[in-house]
Structure formats: structure tokens, C-alpha cells
Structure 1
């Protein structure tokens, strides 16, 4: 079982509310809530504000549930990696079995509540998104292939689709394109991070691309996916689904991101592929990638509202 490596930690009694909240990965939830809300805003039709708020809550709860199951399964490697050792399970604050039960209960509750508040289509997509992240990515891909992030990128791309479906009861072309944007955005976003966190992943035995293929290969892939993202990001505008506000924003952001990823690719390296700049371009690209997604989705909402 994934948690056997941390059984030497004696769980402490009386975990604080903040520890249970940490299991939901609040930083990830903030992005999920934002993209899910954008899906609601841009969808044609109308949803009661109370039901819309419930839908966003369910999306956040489902994402948190998937995060908790992820922490349960990855507790052994979380205990090894420097940036995750303070998480509740490896820190000995909460029993691993309690975390699994917590995640399952929240997952079921989020799907059932969304089905009752909106419709079965939205609930089904939410259920699949939880399964995709907790099982397909966490349990199957993450420890088996350096392409884990490419395939697993779909996990974070569902919220806008769920938000749209909550309003309309179906899935349209625009949310599918937003899904594709997040899908192609994920590799350069996460591989930029993995370039300067490669030592942690190697120590934990996670086959991230820099560990398996090396930094040079990873830098090339960061650039390739940034270039692929460019036409995907402007596709909603080209296809007439959005207007100029979104189109110009997408073009400017994607070109800027491509330039930053080019700098990641061209970063000066020694013979072993280690960056002489301490991966400063990769850190810059990672930080910009977060801003990229927020601005792009906000521009889509503004464009549709106007």
C-alpha cells in the first residue's frame, strides 16, 4: 500500500481544523473555483444564483476530495519530498485511513449534491474528474510514466466544463476548448516547476520528465507545449465563440508565455544539464503560467458578458 513508508510516524490526537483543510489542497481549489465560476458565467442561459453558488461549492468540494485521496495514496512519497513533509499524514497529525474515508465521503457528497442542485450531466463530469485525478493520475500514471503530467493534465481541465454543464445540462464547444487550453497549459506549467524540484522527485522515485529524460529534454518539451498552446488558446476567437477582447488577450499572453518558455529552453547549462542560473527562467515561467490562466479565463468571461 502507498502509505507503508510512513507507518513509523505515530499519529497525534486532536488534529486541528487547519489540518483537515490542508488535505483539500486549498491553493489548487482556488484555481478550480475560479475556472468553474468562469464556466458558469460564459454558459448561455440562466441559473439561480443560489444553485450557481451550490454548483461552485460542489466543484470545490469534489476537487478537495480528490486532493485528499491523492494525499492518502502519496503519503509515502510526501514523507520523502521536502516540500510535502509537513502535510498532515507524513507529519503524523491524521491517520491515513481517516484521510481516505474523508476523501471518499466528500467525493460522494459533492456529486450527489451537484446532481440534486443542477443536473446529471454536471454531476457525471464532476464524478469522472474526481476519478481521473484520484485514480487515473495519482494511482496509475504518476509513478509509472514521465508523461504523467501530459495525460494527467486533463484532471485540472474539467471545472469549466462542469460549470457550463451546470447551467445548460450539456457540454458545448467553448468549454471543450477551455478544457484543451488547460490540458496544453499543464505540461509547461508543471515541468517548469519540476526542473527546479527534480532532486525531490528523484529521491521519492517519481518518474518526472527531468528525472527520466534529463533537464535538456524537459526544457525542449516546455517550449514545444507552449508553442502548441498558442493556437489552442486563440481557437475560441478564431472560431467566433468569443470576441476581440479575449482574442487579443489570448494572443498576447500566449506569445509572452512562449517567449518565457524559450528562455527556459535556452537557459545556460553545464555538461550535466544543470542550469547555471539556478533555473531562474523556469521559476519565472512557472509563476507567469499561474497569472496566464487567471487572466485568460477572466478575459473570456469579460468578453462574453460584454
Structure 2
């Protein structure tokens, strides 16, 4: 009997943990934390573990809160799409009331934790939640411009790390913001291309032209080019304390060109397989680019 009860408890706890990961989108949240830590390492005059832990914990809470609010608002639409119908709220495993409590608690803890670092970091974190929840989420069913609005909170983490390390906002974090801002468009439009049919079931307008056509891919190509340009601007010594060596700039340029090649392939083939390759290339780009920046600083 004890063994059976213990198994039930373990199963329940495992289920709760799985739902928590799903509602906070653990993989996405961890990738955001990675970007924030990369920004911190670039801005910090000396590396200290305590601020990194605060940034990681507070950042996860903030992103988790945004994702939870998003799933509360979109619960009925999530139930219509194959990729989201099994989410905890849409599937009925988690009530809106419980999810709301989780979202509010994560918001409070996240802002308080980031405030310990400095008030500016907490402010930008709060702005990110507000824009994601109050602007991007409701606009997704209204206009493709939602992606532009969503790119703002999506670009904050890289910048946030620098602000957390320096308590200053200037050209350096502004440049980090612009790199991730331009990156958002090819990334999300490639994803939107792959999932266009599913998004339409939920009424989401994610592609810039509303269709899987070459005009959409032309915009992907344009934003990819801007992303590459902004990513290597620090090599010219015009971005303050944010610098980049020539070898590092060449590596980042090559990474960007690989992504651009996949964008041109999508233009040529206009199929989901090409969109998926572009999406995966974009994920690789943002991760490797940030690693190159950090390694370049300390070499």
C-alpha cells in the first residue's frame, strides 16, 4: 500500500513539474537566460557568481511569467492548434486561476530579484513582461505587425545582461538590443512559415504578407542582412566599450552568411523543409554569435 501511495505521489509531482516546465516554456526561458548571461559577461568589469545567479533566476521568472500570462490569454486559441492543444491550460490540466497565481508570483519574484541587481534591470524586465503580454499577445490575431512588437521584448535579454552588469544604458546595450531585434524576424518568420497552417487554425497572423510567398522571404532576407551588419558593427570601434576583434567579426560574418544562404534557399524552394533549416540556422547563429562575443572579450 505504501509503495502504491508513494508511486502515485511521485507520479503527481512529476506531472506537476512537467506542467510547470510547459507553462513557463522551460527551453525558451533557458535560452533567454543564456542571452542575458552573455550580455552580463560582456559588460561586467569582473565576473562574480552572485549577480549571475540573480540574473539567471530573475530572468527565468520574468520569461516564465510572460509565457504563463500568454497561455492564459490564448487558452481557447491554443486548444485549436496541434502544437499547443496539449498545453496545461488549454488541455484543462491547470485552471486559469492557478495559472494566474503562478504568473503573478513569478512576476513579483522576478522583478524583486532583478531589482537587487539594480533598478534599471528590474525596469527593463517589467517592460518586457508588459509588452509581451499586453501588446504582442493580443496583436497576434490582429496584424502581422505583432512580430515587430514582439521583437522588442524578445531583444531585451541580451541588452539586459549588460545593464545588470553596469547599471548603465548606452550605445553598448543598445547595440546588443539591435542585434537580437533584427534576428527575431528571420527566426520567427521561418517558424511562422513552418507552422502557418496551424497558426491559421488559431487565427494568428504571423507572416508579414499573410502568405507563404517570395515577398515574405524577401523581408526575411532583408532583416537577415541587417542582422549581420549590426552584429559586426563593434569591429569598427564605434560602440563604446563593446568591441569586437577582426577575427571574431569574420567568424560572425561567416555565421551570418550561412544563415543568409538558407534564407535564399527558402526564396528558391518555398517549402517547409527549407524554412525549418533556416529556423535551425537562426538558433545556431544567435547562440554561436553570443559565444564568439564573450570568448573574444576574454582572449
Instruction: Judge same fold: TM > 0.5, yes or no.
Output: yes
Query: Structure 1 211/173 Cα, relative in aligned 2: closer, same or farther at 3 Å?
Result: closer
CA distance in 1, matches of 2:62, 2:247: 32
Distance 1:279 1:47 in 2: 43
Which stretch has the larger CA shift, 236-245 or 68-77? 236-245
Distance apart, 1:171 and its partner CA: 1.6
Asked if the contact 1:195–1:215 (Cα under 8 Å) also holds between the matched residues in 2, the reply is no
User: What CA deviation, in whole Å up to 9, does each residue of 1:23-80 have, x standing for no partner?
Assistant: 1111111211111111110114236422321122101111111111111111111101
Matched-pair contact (CA < 8 Å) for 2:141–2:204: yes
Aligned to 1:128: 127
Distance in 2 of aligned mates of 1:237 and 1:156:
24
Distance 1:304 1:138 in 2: 37
Unmatched 5+ residue regions in structure 1?
1-12, 268-274
User: What is the alpha-carbon distance in structure 1 between the residues aligned to residue 50 and residue 61 of structure 2?
Assistant: 16
Q: How big is each residue's C-alpha offset from its partner over 1:110-136, in whole Å with a ceiling of 9 and x where there is no partner?
A: 1012212x1111111111111121112
Provide structure 2 residue ranges, at least 5 long, that are not aligned to the other structure: 1-11
Matched-pair contact (CA < 8 Å) for 2:209–2:215: no
Other structure's SS at 1:284 match: helix
Superposed structure 1 runs of 4+ greater than 6 Å apart:
none
59-68 vs 233-242, which deviates more?
A: 233-242
Corresponding residue SS for 2:37: helix
Alignment root-mean-square deviation, CA: 1.8
Aligned to 2:252: 250
Rounded to whole Å, the distance in 1 between the matches of 2:173 and 2:291 is: 14
Q: 1:215 aligns with which of 208, 213, 216?
A: 213
1:16 aligns to what SS in structure 2? helix
Q: Hey, what does 1:63 align to over in structure 2? A: 63
- The yes-or-no answer on 1:168 pairing with 2:158 is no
Q: TM-score normalized by structure 2? A: 0.89
Q: Which residue pairs with 2:16 in the alignment? A: 16
Query: Contact 2:41/2:47 (CA < 8 Å) preserved in 1?
Result: no
SS in 1 for 2:83: helix
Residue in 1 that maps onto 2:41: 41
Aligned residues: 283
**Distance in 2 separating the partners of 1:84 and 1:215:** 25
C-alpha contact 1:195 1:210 (8 A) present in aligned 2: no
Structure 1 equivalent of residue 288 of structure 2: 295
Distance in 1 separating the partners of 2:173 and 2:71: 29
Cα separation, 2, equivalents of 1:234 and 1:178: 11
Structure 1 length normalisation: TM-score?
A: 0.87
| Most deviating of 212-221 and 187-196 | 212-221
